[in-house]
Amino acid sequence: MANQSQGQTLLLFSNEMLKAINELCLKRDSIQQEIMDQQKEQRCIQSDIRVLTDRLTELGADICKKTAIRNEFDKTINETQTQYKKIREALLNPIAVRDREREQQSAKQRQEQSVEEAQSQRQESS
């Protein structure tokens, strides 16, 4: 009977060990599935990072090119405005000089008329 009791104890112990091993295997499988899911997510994120890094590089290069083009436009605009002002001044200057001369001539004529009128009034008074 001692052998039989030992056999039952051994069988009970064996069953408990198998149960514990099965539970550990289930937990391991669950962890393995989580690892695989996270590795998949990691690969996706790394792929996204590569795509975004490439796009960031492209944007940086494009911004540099466009900045250089814009700076050329600024330079051309400034040079054109400067030349336009010079041309405008060259065209308007003779007109302004002519207008000033006319105004001066008119002022001189008015002054001469005033002098003549004053002389005329003096002669009439005398």
pLDDT in tens, 19-36: 999 999 999 999 999 999
Burial 41-74 (b: 16+ CB within 10 A, else e): eeeeeeeeeeeeeeeeeeeeeeeeeeeeeeeeee
- Evaluate if residue 105 carries a pLDDT over 90: no
pLDDT digits (tens, 9 = 90+) for 55-68: 999 999 999 999 99
Complete DSSP assignment for 48-89: HHHHHHHHHHHHHHHHHHHHHHHHHHHHHHHHHHHHHHHHHH
Average pLDDT for 28-49: 98
Percent over 70 (pLDDT), the chain? 98
Q: In whole angstroms, what is the distance from residue 122 CA to residue 126 CA?
A: 6
Helices (H) then strands (E): counts for the chain? 1, 0
- Amino acid in position 17: M
Q: pTM value? A: 0.52
pLDDT of 1 > 70? The answer is no
